[in-house]
Amino acid sequence: MQRTVASILLLVSSVAFGVSAGCWWLQRTVFTPDNSPSIAAAILDQSEIRLEIITVVSARTAGALGTTPDTLANFLDSEVLSKRAGAAELAPFIERAHLRAIGSNDDLVVIVPSELVNIVRNEKAYDAPSATIPVPVIGTLKTARTSTGWAMIISAALGALALIFGLILRPYRSEIIQALAELLVATAGSLIIIGWAIPTFVIPAIDASSWTSLAPALAGRAFPVALVSAIILTVGSGALFVTAINGNRRRQWNGPSASGRRRSQRW
The predicted-structure confidence for 125-180, as pLDDT tens digits, reads as follows 999 999 999 999 999 999 999 999 999 999 999 999 999 999 999 999 989 999 99
What is the sign of the dihedral through the CA atoms of 211, 29, 14 and 201?
positive
Among 82, 138, 131, residue whose Cα is nearest residue 109: 131
CB contact at 8 A, 218 and 199: yes
pTM of the model: 0.91
Q: Are 10 and 162 in contact (CB under 8 A)?
A: yes
Contacts of 191 (CB under 8 A, 6+ apart): 21, 22, 25, 226, 229, 230, 233
Specify whether the CB–CB gap between 54 and 76 falls below 8 A: yes
- Closest by CA position to 129, among listed 58, 55, 61: 61
What secondary structure letter does DSSP report for 3? P
Residue 260 has pLDDT above 70, yes or no: no
Reported as a single tens digit per residue, the pLDDT across 43-81 is 999 999 999 999 999 999 999 999 999 999 999 999 999
